[in-house]
Structure 1
Amino acid sequence: MPEGDTVWQAAKRLHTALAGRVLIRSDLRVPKFATADLAGRTVLDVTPRGKHLLTRIEGGLTLHSHLRMDGSWKVFTHGQRWSGGPAHQIRAILGTEDRTAVGYRLPVLELLRTTDEDRAVGHLGPDLLGPDWDPNRALENLLRDPARPLGEALLDQRNLAGIGNVYKSELCFLLGVTPWLPVGALPADRAALLPVLAQKLLEANRDRPTRITTGVVATSRTTTGPRGQGPGITGRDQNLYVYGRASRPCLRCHTPIRLANQGDGSRERPTYWCPSCQFGPTPPPGTAQPRTGTRRTTN
């Protein structure tokens, strides 16, 4: 499920394949824009904004897309067989002489004037991987509602753009607090560390095929690996501190990791934490767990 680093990678692939090249094929398979024809126009750039993708095209146009849970953009060479899902799930095709970008299951796809991009992304807070990143502004946004649970505040893209359930859970572990701790109860030193740490995690993973948070940082409250193991963490099970590790031993203290939903229950937001390493409120015993340990909703 894409978060800011994954969307950054998708933008990079699309930019490499399309930017500076003339489109010879365009097919937008959504009713509102089905008659739009972008063939003959040059793709100027593909830019990520939080979890959004902005494909800017000659003539002052921007194709705005959002992957949410299941969407993806695939790039194929000329003659390569397309793979990414059945044909009826294709929502967009952008083709040049030697590359074709195919958008599968895109829940958001709209053609805008480039000057109107703010209608799509103007509500977003500072982008953790963008040129507008401002840790002070991000922290001010988070603290604006001090009673709000930290995990929910981190997922609100109006505060800072790019965090999903994975980084929410990992950040809270690294800060030593539960995702249910009110933002205003976060100790001052950890509050100041939060945006810096968030940016460091996404920056470290933006070029990696596999997301890794263990070993990225080492503070007095965190270690680079399981107790007694040392810094050289290996194995897929140890790429992340808590996310996706329900009932498995904490890499720091060996206590079983717990899992519960967070939020009002309208969406599945699987949230992982260590009951020994993280202080703060937790869901009452018996709280319903998500149906799976991997599904989440992006914004």
Structure 2
Amino acid sequence: MPEGDTVWRACKRLDQALGGQELIRTDFRVPALATTDLSGQTVLEVVARGKHLLMRVSGGVTVHSHFRMDGSWHLYRPGERWRGGPDHQVRAVLETSSWIAVGYRLPVLELVATDDEASVVGHLGPDLLSPTFDREQAIANVQADPERTISEALLDQRNLAGIGNFYRTEVCFLLGLHPWRPVASVDVAAAVDLSRRLMKANLRNGAQVSTGIDRPGQRTWVFERGNKSCRRCGTKIETASIGTPPRDRVTYWCPTCQPEHL
């Protein structure tokens, strides 16, 4: 699932290409928006809010999308071949005189009034990548349920927005936290700070890296490395599902570097 840094980079590209430009053609390929036409409107800005993408258009309208597991936006020049997937996976086409933005496999695509964006993102906690990130509120949100596992608390977008399975898994490893460790026994400030630091560092990368080595097969400590040897101690990395369906996710940890009991 794309995480906050991936959405932030997508927003930046879309904003640079479409911001301030008039839409000359729009094509929404979802039933609820089949008759919607935003041509003649101007794209004011494209911003990220956690894992949500908000494209604000003149006339007080926002195009709200969420990538979930494999959604994406691609940019093409007029006449360029689209390469994001087959045509039946296209959910939106937004065209200006210079660029065509194509949304693929977007499970969430809707129009909301810009003044009512809170209806789709108001439940989110502080955005880790926001320049006005409210650190104290994020820490307080995570600490509000001391018996919850740190894994679930970090992944809960109501606590802090943007962190996904990659970051929560790698942060737990780097801090030596067993995934099922209760929040009450964790230095929550350290977990929040490290999550933000890693995400901000990866804004410059095309890939998510936690080891400091941006090469295939060497970018992560434990994430998606189940049954492989821990890079630090050689112990076999374990995997299990954590959380309540349908919000459960596979997590990875080293039982030596991340002991269950202190």
For Structure 1 versus Structure 2, the TM-score category normalised by the shorter chain is over 0.9
Counterpart of 1:192 in structure 2 is 189
Structure 1 window deviating more from structure 2 (235-244 vs 96-105): it is 235-244
CA distance in 2, matches of 1:101, 1:235: 30
Matching residue's letter, 1:278: Q
Contact preservation (8 Å) 1:238, 1:251? no
Counting matched residue pairs gives 261
* Comparing 126-135 and 37-46, the one that deviates more: 126-135
1:156 CA displacement:
0.6
Aligned partners of 1:280, 1:102: CA distance in 2, in Å?
46
Shift of residue 265, structure 1, vs aligned partner: 4.1
- Match of residue 118 from structure 2: 118
Paired residues of 2:142 and 2:188 also in contact (CA < 8 A): no
Q: 2:246 corresponds to which residue?
A: 266
Using structure 1 for the length normalisation, give the TM-score. Answer: 0.84
The one-character-per-residue Cα deviations of 1:105-146 (angstroms, maximum 9, x if unpaired) are: 111011111000000000000001013312211110001011
Amino acid at match of 1:140: A
What corresponds to 2:236 in structure 1?
256
Q: 2:199 aligns with which of 190, 196, 202?
A: 202
1:99 positional shift: 0.5
Match of 1:35 in 2: 35
The one-letter amino acid paired with 1:157 is: Q
Distance (whole Å) between structure 2 residues aligned to residue 8 and residue 36 of structure 1? 26
Find the counterpart in structure 1 of residue 44 from structure 2. Answer: 44
Work out the CA distance in 2 between the residues paired with 1:110 and 1:261: 31
Counterpart check, 1:93 vs 2:73: no
Q: Which amino acid aligns with 1:252?
A: R
SS in 2 for 1:26: strand
State how 1:1-299 maps to structure 2 within 5 Å. 1-186=1-186, 190-215=187-212, 233=213, 235-267=215-247, 269-280=249-260
Flag structure 1 segments of 5+ consecutive residues without an equivalent: 216-232, 282-299
Q: Which stretch shows the higher mean deviation, 107-116 or 26-35? A: 26-35
Give a deviation string over 1:51-98, Cα, whole Å, max 9, x none: 000000011110000000011111001110011111111111100011
Residue type at the aligned position of 2:192: P
Deviation at 1:234?
6.5
Q: 1:236: Cα distance to partner? A: 2.2
RMSD: 1.3
Q: CA deviation at 1:268?
A: 5.3
What one-letter code is carried by the residue in structure 2 that aligns with 1:208? N
Contact 1:173-1:277 at 8 Å conserved across structures: yes
Q: Which runs of 5+ in 2 are unaligned?
A: none
SS in 1 for 2:217: helix
Query: Aligned in 2, Cα 1:46/1:235: closer, same or farther, shift over 3 Å?
Result: closer
Task: Give the distance between the partners of 1:199 and 1:17, measured in 2 at CA.
Answer: 27
Cα distance in 2 for partners of 1:142, 1:279 equals 21
Asked if structure 1 preserves the Cα contact closer than 8 Å seen for 2:3 and 2:51, the reply is yes
SS of equivalent to 2:178: coil
One-letter amino acid of the counterpart of residue 147, structure 1: E
Find the counterpart in structure 2 of residue 222 from structure 1.
none
Q: CA deviation at 1:247?
A: 1.4
Distance 1:181 1:154 in 2: 12
Superposed CA deviations along residues 33-58 of structure 1, whole A, max 9, x for unmatched, are: 21111101110100000000000001
Quote the offset at 1:253 in angstroms: 1.1
Q: Within 2, Cα distance between the matches of 1:134 and 1:112?
A: 26
Alpha-carbon distance change, 83 to 234 in structure 1, aligned in 2, over 3 angstroms: closer
The alignment partner of 1:237 has SS state of: coil
* Contact map agreement 2:207 2:214 (CA 8 A) in 1: no
Q: What does the per-residue CA deviation read over 1:132-170, in whole Å, with 9 as the maximum and x for residues that have no partner? A: 312211110001011111111111100000111100100
Would the aligned equivalents of 2:242 and 2:251 in 1 still touch at CA under 8 Å? yes
Worse-matched range after superposition: 77-86 or 60-69: 77-86
